[in-house]
Structure 1
Amino acid sequence: MAKSNNNFIESLDIDKLFQERSIDDIIELERRLDSEIEKKRNALRSTVGDRYKDVLAASDAIKSMKTISQDIVHHIDKITNTCENLLVTSSNVDLKSSFSVEKDKLDERTFVAQVRLAIFLNEQIWLALDQENNLDAAQYYLLAQYLHTGLGLSKREFLDKISYLEHIKNQKILLRKRVFQKITEKLESVETTAEDTSKNLNALLLLKNETCDKLLSIFIEHRKTALITVINTTYSSVRVQICSMVKCLITTIHLLHHCFICYGGSGKGLIWQQLEEIVSESSPKTLSKLQLPASALLSYIPEIIKQFRPKCNFSTDIVNSLKEAKSVVESWLQSTLMTVEEGLQKSLQLITNIKGLHLTRVESLKIDLPENWEEICKELHLPDEFNVWLYFFQNFITLRCKELISKKVSDNTKEIQECVSSTLNEALKLGRPEVDLRWYTWVEEPGDISRSENCHRGLSMKTRGYSENIIELCKRVDDKYLALLEDASQYLYGKEYNTDMNFNVKDFKFKRKFVDRNDIENHLSHECTITSTSISDYILNSLPCSSTDSDLVTKSVVGARFLEAVSFLCPHFQRCCTLDNVTNKWSKVCDRFSQASNTLWQNWLENEVRQTEVTCEKLQDISQRKMISIYTRWDEIEIQEQTDDEKVFKSQIRVPLKPSLTLSEILDQLNENLSKVLPHTLPKQVYLQFIEKNVFAILRHYKIYAESDLNQKQALQFLFDVKFLATFCIPRENSQLVTYSQDICDKFRSKVDPFDLDVFYPYLQSNVKRAVGQSQIILGCLLPSSHHLASLGISEKNKEQEQNPSLLALSTPSITTWFSLLPISVPTPKSAAGQLTSKKSAKVITINISVTVKHGNKFIMKQVG
């Protein structure tokens, strides 16, 4: 509607208005124009009143002052003229009347001079405030206040004539508030000088007439407010904010000492020195500090006004303030520490890396301290070797550093767990299985041997059984802790991280700068050590019981090898765990990984035992047809028997020479399964458990046969099998398994004729040793240790072959068991074989027979004498 009115008014043509419109229309149009004009005026007044309210008020006041000043000057001129006229006619007046008139004129001129001085003082106070000279403004205010006190005692008729005097008084009240506001702003400035601070404190002291101890408390409160202002101010970075807080606190200590305790070696604070220059008897009068305009009225200013100077008795208060300084400083330290803590809570959360804390500390420590800082701290009763950064900020920076380390380690742990989970799942999809590393270990690649040392590739990895998946996973883990070390290196040691850095420096050059280094190192080491438990527990818990056997075994093998590889392929992880220089901490971590690895290997071991149980079911069939298929060639031995009449009877006996084919198949299968996982890389405990549990599973089946109805030939073959298995695979230290095998052997021996057993047993024992010696090449992986067969004399027999060994050692094994043996052997020389045969053939057993008794289908030969 307003817009349409404006368009209508703008479209009016004044020249044609009276031609085209009627008188009523013109009257209505005039009314609308008046209304619109009034609306514009109101809108303009509202806009000006809102935007320029203070300016208008000041303008009105200036106009009023100008008018009143003109009136005052006019009245003064009128009074002057009147006085001159009175002087001309004074001769006609008697002496008494003349004296009364002169006195009235003098009082009036004195009153006018004081009024003009009051106006001038208000102007000077404003000028002093604009120049930030608050002390002079306070002195001028005190003079003005003293002046108004005198004016209040003037005659009522004088006071009634000058109504502007009340406005001057009101303006003086406004000036007082303005002076206090300016003093507060200066005292709460972040950076200020001791001179300015002392002047403002003196201004406060003069205006409020405070005691020195109260003044000290006021100063402390204002400095607290200054610190809060710094905290609440928005900065470009947290580093700048903390530096500003440090500067504010250093400034506070500096001002406290210089203003209250000692300045310039005089033994007095600057406040007292400046105050003495103002209130002492020799100090200049307040009015002498003003440049009064030239006027005849200056001579009418009362002498009491000219002699005015502020008064303050401070001699006793100085001593008391020095006594109270210690308690005030202690209270300030406690309250400031709480304020800094509250102020840093949100700010430090914005620093997301440890290097940012280091840069903040460096910038804060670069702030220059006063030259006599140690003396200042001592005189203020501050703690020994007091440092603003170390006292107020370092503990919170240390806590934030610990929080960042804990967060980074926690994030690393989660990422590592994700990487481990991904690797375990990918291991199930690979065409090359992780449970059979023969495709990886025995394949020659160009990168197997390199001129430059690299612990993450080549033969060193193959011999340890670390596949490419394991190596890559360990590299990811180590890179995360490398990033952590790189982030923390600047904070802990003041330089970029490198692998050759010496972390065990005893006498660090800037030890105060890195005062929390040991604490941070211990925390980092502790957090990383806890990570080892988290990783191992995660892998153990990530294998659900509901998964298939093949998946469970694959994940278990990958997880076990990863835990074994961490201690070897993650040097940065090791360094993180050993930063606190605790010698056995890394060994404990490795032990924890080793225990978890052994637990995971148990899944593979149990699966292998189950497969052995299935394979051993072949032994259950002991029918004649089956026995024919499992018998191997027996050894034929000729023996001689001599009677009392020296007759010699020759006969041949047959003794098992090799294990049964079924047992050989089982052992070959075990040997192959063990070769898949590279037996030399297995933990010693797992390796022995594999042999012992599988042997126990085989022996359980043989125990069933021992309790069955067997003929003598079956009993001899099974006895040979058990003796071979016990001799080859059971360590002598395992007394339980040795006893178990002996019990089975005893049952088999009970099924053989005692006389035949006495004849056959030595040859059977000899054949067992020979079979063991011949099988150690092919089935070497099933030997509990490399020294297991030493008691059989096999090592001595092969000493002649040591110069030309039949086995090429590829590497030094990580355990006492042998590296996976190659099926390469040197055939036994014919001469040695001939000698062995002749010795056996030449062996004669002489038996003196006195009585031969036929008992059933057997002849029992009894020896006489």
Structure 2
Amino acid sequence: MNRSELTHLDVNKLFEERSIDEIIEIEKLLDAEIERKRNDLRSMVGDRYKDILAASDAIKSMKTISENIVFNIEEITKTCELLIGTNNSSTLIAAEDTEIEKQRNEERVLLIQVRLAIFLNEQIWVALDSGNNLDATQYYLLAQHIYMGLNLTKKEYLGKLPLLDHLKLNLVTLRTKIFQNVTEKLESVEITPEETSQNLNALMLIENQTNDQLLSIFIRHRKTALQTVISTQYSSVRLQIAAMVKCLITTVLLLHDCFIYNDSKNGLLWEELNNIVGENAAYTLSKLELPVTPLVSYIPDIIKQFRPKLKMSNTSGQENKQVDSKIVESWLKSTKEKVQEGLKKNLQLVTTVKGLFLVREESLKIELPDSWSKVCADLQLPENFNIWYYFFQKLITSRAENLISTIIRNSLHDIKNDISASLKNGLKVGKSELDLRWYAWKEDSGDVSKFENDHTGLTMKTKGFSHSVVNLCEKLDQQFLALLEDVSQYLHGTEYNAMSSIPYLLNDYKFKRKFIDKEELENHLMLETSKYSLEIPKYLIDFLSDETGTDLVAKSLLSARFLQASCSLCASFQKCCEFGNEPGEWRKICDTFTKTSHSLWMNWVNSTVAKTTDEVTSLSDVSPESMMEFLSRWDEIEIQEQTEEKIFKSQIKVPLKPSIPLTNLLVQLNQHLSQILPYTLPKPIHVNFIEANINVILKEYEGIASKDLNQIQALQFLLDVRFLTTLCVPRENSQMVNFAQSICDKLRSKIDPFDLDVFYSYLQNNVRKAISQSQTLFGCLLPSTTQLMNLGTYTKNKEQELNPSLMAFSIPSTNAWFPLLPITVPSQKLPGQTKPEFTETLPKPSKSTPKKTTQDPASMMRQGAVSLFGNFSTDWFS
């Protein structure tokens, strides 16, 4: 029912149509509407006729005052007439008047005290509402003093003033309110020294606290203020920590300004207290603007001259006053614990080291006063005391270390997942690591890049790193590059790309202190990277532990090359391991990676050995039919023997080349090497490959040597073993050399001694010839460049041994790159050909001459091409 319906109700009809409960509700609505109308009317009258009402009140007041004035004048007139008529009254009447006057004075004194108590009650509330707690405290003490004086008044008067009980209860409430306001003010995050000293003095006046007690109360309240900052929800951790720093700086400055003298003057606390309770301090009543009344003259002197007093002499001898160092130390300790506890959860919200950098920058923006050093010295704080470095720096450093460990741990977890995916997906692609010739010998548009060190094209092909290996290395390096970019600003104050420049002056103490944990975090980063990165080889070993067959070999090759590539392609990874300019950790990682890589390479070596073991049985068939098929052409040599009578000539046949089964085995081994790009094979693995496979072949020859062989077979097998030993068995492997020698001894025992004496020298020459002719084909089976040194072949220096060239598939017998084409006729001088104008002679190497000179690869290729096609046009096609 709306308002318009309420004003036009038909009562008779209402009782006919409505129930009793509805009528009751309508009655309530009518009462509310009537009351609302009344209020509207009062408001309208008050607004429209305010001046008229004020004038009416003024007229009434004037009428009352006028009547009182007239009445008083009449009383004065009567009194004067009475005095004139009774001029000779007796002394008894005068005494009675004096007694009455004394009684009236007592009543007036009591009345003014009661009025003062009421007035002070109002002034205390006014002072509390305006935030002036110190004035409220002084008024409270004065009111309490008045109340105590009233208690000493005669009981017959007190009985007539029940208002005093109400005043007593009100004083208790005011005391509680003063304590509440003082506590709230002292626990404010932002507060001035003046406000602090006023509120501390308020506490001291009420409780009569000593200096140390007041200091403890102050510190307790400031702890609460800090806890307020910790508990408050901020938009970011950065702003919250900055607020905590401001709060603690404010606490230190307030402590100094209020409790410590400054320039031979008392602190604010003692100065202000001296103005309240000192001998020259103004009386408390003089600070009040009393209402105009004749009763003011009846205020007792004990009230007029009241000022607060303290039992202890807090206002004297405060020069050189120092705070208790134990209290300050206790505050430092408890505050550090509170900060640590308060930031424990909040710092978990900062998930990057760059975020910690922003937190530090925001806090260090807070400017300290120029007198900060003197403030800390006066308060007996630690040397070079700073709020940030004392309370927060270790927490931030600890969080940074945890973040670095977490980031590295997560990065390595991602890398493991990438490795697992690559190993699983690598077998699905037809072009696997088992045969990289499809990758190395295929020309791509990106083989030659315009940029340096981009790890693509020919650079990767020369190292045997396929796309899968390069992608894994890029992912690994990207993880650590992101880590370096994250920690760079915190550690150096600059972006990672600008780390080459020195971010601070060497003698600038301020900036050095800002990066005080730089070395600690760098060492932590280096150690954590080293620690977690060593899990990669373990992960690969565990991942491949359940693999067998071709899958094991393919995955082992990919894993081995990845470990090799990580040591050379991952610059950011290396930087993280050498952050402290200590290459020891990086060497340790590289050694572990290399060792694991070699163990994975051995899976491939073992697979080739297994294939060789299956195929070497073709050597054991020594039947005449097989020998006719396997033996190659022998060398026919004419020998002469001179006697006293004449010269005897005869012909002998000596094996010229290795048998066909052995050649097939060596070609097969060479095929295994060519599939995995032999110039990328680590030297120890290369030697192990040769030794393991040659050992299998020699064992087969050992079994053959134990069979019943004729002299032809023995000679052929003897050449085979000598050829194999000279070409493939390392000289330093004395065990294999002795083993091969024992096989040769068995084979020589099956040859006629006279024939052996005649044939052996020619056999040795044929071994050398066969090696010289086949070293290009079987060059990959040479264990080292010095293997054929006794045969007079070309050897490479140590630098070339460590850095094999792309084209060095074999060790040629001359210095020319391509000795493969036989020269059928001597070179002829073409018409018109002239000698070069000058020839360059190489100086002899000396101590001052470098051992190796660099030459432009492009010019070398052009010279080689000219030489090659020059031979084509002269010798080969002549």
Same-fold call, TM > 0.5?
Answer: yes
Q: Give the corresponding residue for 2:268.
A: 270
Give the deviation of 1:386 after TM superposition.
0.7
CA distance in 1, matches of 2:586, 2:299: 92
Contact 2:265 2:319 in 1 (8 A): no
CA distance in 1, matches of 2:487, 2:467: 30
1:16 to 1:398, Cα distance in 2 relative to 1, 3 A: closer
Name whichever of 155-164 and 351-360 sits farther off.
Answer: 155-164
Give the deviation of 1:370 after TM superposition.
1.8
Q: Give the corresponding residue for 1:285.
A: 283
Q: Give the corresponding residue for 2:206.
A: 207
Give matches, 1:295-310, under 5 Å.
295-310=293-308
Q: Give the corresponding residue for 1:593.
A: 593
CA distance in 2, matches of 1:335, 1:320: 29
Give the deviation of 1:677 after TM superposition.
0.9
Give the deviation of 1:19 after TM superposition.
9.6
DSSP-derived class of the 2:10 partner:
helix
Give the deviation of 1:605 after TM superposition.
0.8
Contact 1:213 1:320 in 2 (8 A): no
Contact 1:139 1:310 in 2 (8 A): yes
* Percentage of matched positions with identical amino acids: 49
1:826 to 1:232, Cα distance in 2 relative to 1, 3 A: closer
CA distance in 2, matches of 1:194, 1:14: 69
Contact 1:781 1:818 in 2 (8 A): no
CA distance in 2, matches of 1:505, 1:455: 32
1:505 to 1:466, Cα distance in 2 relative to 1, 3 A: farther
Contact 1:712 1:752 in 2 (8 A): yes
Give the deviation of 1:502 after TM superposition.
5.3
Amino acid at match of 1:540: I
Q: Give the corresponding residue for 2:746.
A: 747
DSSP-derived class of the 1:652 partner:
strand
Give matches, 1:65-144, under 5 Å.
94-144=93-143
1:304 to 1:505, Cα distance in 2 relative to 1, 3 A: closer
Give the deviation of 1:506 after TM superposition.
8.9
Contact 2:473 2:569 in 1 (8 A): yes
- Deviation string, structure 1 residues 213-259 (Cα, Å, up to 9, x no partner): 11111111111111111111111111111011101111111111111
Q: Give the corresponding residue for 1:856.
A: none
CA distance in 1, matches of 2:502, 2:465: 30
Give the deviation of 1:649 after TM superposition.
2.1
CA distance in 2, matches of 1:277, 1:770: 119
Q: Give the corresponding residue for 2:633.
A: 633
- Deviation string, structure 1 residues 292-318 (Cα, Å, up to 9, x no partner): 121111111111111001112334886
- Deviation string, structure 1 residues 436-474 (Cα, Å, up to 9, x no partner): 111111222222223321331121111000111111111
- Deviation string, structure 1 residues 85-108 (Cα, Å, up to 9, x no partner): 997778677123212211111111
- Deviation string, structure 1 residues 746-797 (Cα, Å, up to 9, x no partner): 111111111111111111111001111111111100001122101122349x
Contact 2:261 2:319 in 1 (8 A): no
DSSP-derived class of the 1:584 partner:
helix
Q: Give the corresponding residue for 2:523.
A: 522
Name whichever of 332-341 and 112-121 sits farther off.
Answer: 112-121
Q: Give the corresponding residue for 2:544.
A: 543
DSSP-derived class of the 1:794 partner:
coil
Q: Give the corresponding residue for 2:47.
A: none
Give the deviation of 1:165 after TM superposition.
2.5
DSSP-derived class of the 1:446 partner:
coil
Q: Give the corresponding residue for 1:758.
A: 757
Instruction: Note if 1:668 corresponds to 2:663.
Output: no
- Deviation string, structure 1 residues 34-84 (Cα, Å, up to 9, x no partner): 588689999xx9xxxxxxxxxxxxxxxxxxxxxxxx9xx99xx99x98997
Amino acid at match of 2:282: P
Q: Give the corresponding residue for 2:399.
A: 400
Name whichever of 737-746 and 453-462 sits farther off.
Answer: 453-462
CA distance in 2, matches of 1:727, 1:526: 48
Q: Give the corresponding residue for 2:487.
A: 488
CA distance in 1, matches of 2:622, 2:493: 78
Q: Give the corresponding residue for 1:66.
A: none
Give matches, 1:92-241, under 5 Å.
94-241=93-240
Give the deviation of 1:169 after TM superposition.
2.0
1:378 to 1:84, Cα distance in 2 relative to 1, 3 A: farther
Contact 2:270 2:315 in 1 (8 A): no
CA distance in 1, matches of 2:652, 2:99: 173
Amino acid at match of 1:517: K
Structure 1 unaligned residues grouped into runs of 5+: 1-5, 46-69, 803-809, 833-865
Amino acid at match of 1:825: P
CA distance in 2, matches of 1:13, 1:315: 78
Instruction: Note if 1:820 corresponds to 2:809.
Output: yes
Give the deviation of 1:822 after TM superposition.
9.5
Name whichever of 429-438 and 322-331 sits farther off.
Answer: 322-331
Contact 2:276 2:308 in 1 (8 A): yes
CA distance in 1, matches of 2:14, 2:446: 110
Q: Give the corresponding residue for 2:838.
A: none
Amino acid at match of 2:528: E
1:539 to 1:499, Cα distance in 2 relative to 1, 3 A: farther
Contact 1:559 1:597 in 2 (8 A): yes
RMSD: 3.3
CA distance in 2, matches of 1:480, 1:19: 86
DSSP-derived class of the 1:210 partner:
coil
Amino acid at match of 1:173: V
CA distance in 2, matches of 1:500, 1:115: 80
Name whichever of 348-357 and 432-441 sits farther off.
Answer: 432-441
DSSP-derived class of the 1:658 partner:
coil
Give the deviation of 1:563 after TM superposition.
0.4
Q: Give the corresponding residue for 1:17.
A: 12
Name whichever of 781-790 and 152-161 sits farther off.
Answer: 152-161
Structure 2 unaligned residues grouped into runs of 5+: 36-60, 813-817, 827-878
CA distance in 1, matches of 2:469, 2:72: 115
DSSP-derived class of the 2:653 partner:
strand
Amino acid at match of 2:519: N
CA distance in 2, matches of 1:381, 1:516: 26
Contact 2:261 2:321 in 1 (8 A): no
DSSP-derived class of the 1:432 partner:
coil
Instruction: Note if 1:463 corresponds to 2:462.
Output: yes
Contact 1:118 1:168 in 2 (8 A): yes
DSSP-derived class of the 2:767 partner:
helix
Q: Give the corresponding residue for 1:351.
A: 350
DSSP-derived class of the 1:763 partner:
helix
Amino acid at match of 2:539: Y
Amino acid at match of 1:535: I
Give matches, 1:748-827, under 5 Å.
748-795=747-794, 814=803, 819-821=808-810, 824-826=818-820
1:81 to 1:721, Cα distance in 2 relative to 1, 3 A: farther
Q: TM-score, normalised by structure 1?
A: 0.85
CA distance in 2, matches of 1:365, 1:436: 60
Contact 2:256 2:379 in 1 (8 A): yes
Amino acid at match of 1:733: E
Give the deviation of 1:171 after TM superposition.
1.5
Amino acid at match of 1:617: T
DSSP-derived class of the 2:412 partner:
helix
Q: How many pairs does the alignment contain?
A: 778
Contact 1:784 1:817 in 2 (8 A): no
1:11 to 1:109, Cα distance in 2 relative to 1, 3 A: closer
- Deviation string, structure 1 residues 468-501 (Cα, Å, up to 9, x no partner): 1111111111111111011101100001111762
Amino acid at match of 2:635: D
CA distance in 1, matches of 2:420, 2:455: 21
- Deviation string, structure 1 residues 332-365 (Cα, Å, up to 9, x no partner): 1111110000011011001111111001101101
Amino acid at match of 1:530: K
Amino acid at match of 1:563: L
1:185 to 1:594, Cα distance in 2 relative to 1, 3 A: same
Give the deviation of 1:623 after TM superposition.
1.4
CA distance in 2, matches of 1:508, 1:780: 62
Give the deviation of 1:588 after TM superposition.
1.4
Q: Give the corresponding residue for 2:562.
A: 562
Give the deviation of 1:112 after TM superposition.
1.1
CA distance in 2, matches of 1:794, 1:297: 134
Amino acid at match of 1:400: R
Q: TM-score, normalised by structure 2?
A: 0.83
CA distance in 1, matches of 2:179, 2:824: 121
Contact 1:465 1:678 in 2 (8 A): yes
Q: Give the corresponding residue for 1:64.
A: none
Contact 1:435 1:677 in 2 (8 A): yes
Give the deviation of 1:739 after TM superposition.
0.6
CA distance in 2, matches of 1:210, 1:87: 58
Q: Give the corresponding residue for 1:850.
A: none
Give matches, 1:624-773, under 5 Å.
624-643=624-643, 645-773=644-772
Name whichever of 104-113 and 407-416 sits farther off.
Answer: 104-113
DSSP-derived class of the 2:786 partner:
coil
CA distance in 2, matches of 1:477, 1:253: 49
